[in-house]
Structure 1
Amino acid sequence: MAGLEVPSWDPQAALVIGVVLFEAIVLYVGYGGLERLVGSHLIDAFVGGDDTA
Structure 2
Amino acid sequence: MAGLAVPTWDPETAALIGAILLEAIVLYVGYGGLERLLGPYLTTLLLGGESDAQ
Superposition TM-score, scaled by structure 1 size: 0.91
User: Any gaps of 5 or more consecutive residues in structure 2?
Assistant: none
Q: CA RMSD in A?
A: 1.1
Give the Cα separation in 1 of the matches to 2:45 and 2:20.
Answer: 34
Q: 1:36 — aligned with what?
A: 36
DSSP-derived class of the 2:14 partner: helix
- Give matches, 1:2-41, under 5 Å: 2-41=2-41
Moved over 6 A (4+): none
TM-score (norm 2): 0.90
Q: What is the aligned-residue identity percentage?
A: 62
1:42 alignment partner AA: L
How many pairs align?
Answer: 53
**C-alpha separation in 1, matches of 2:2 and 2:32:** 45
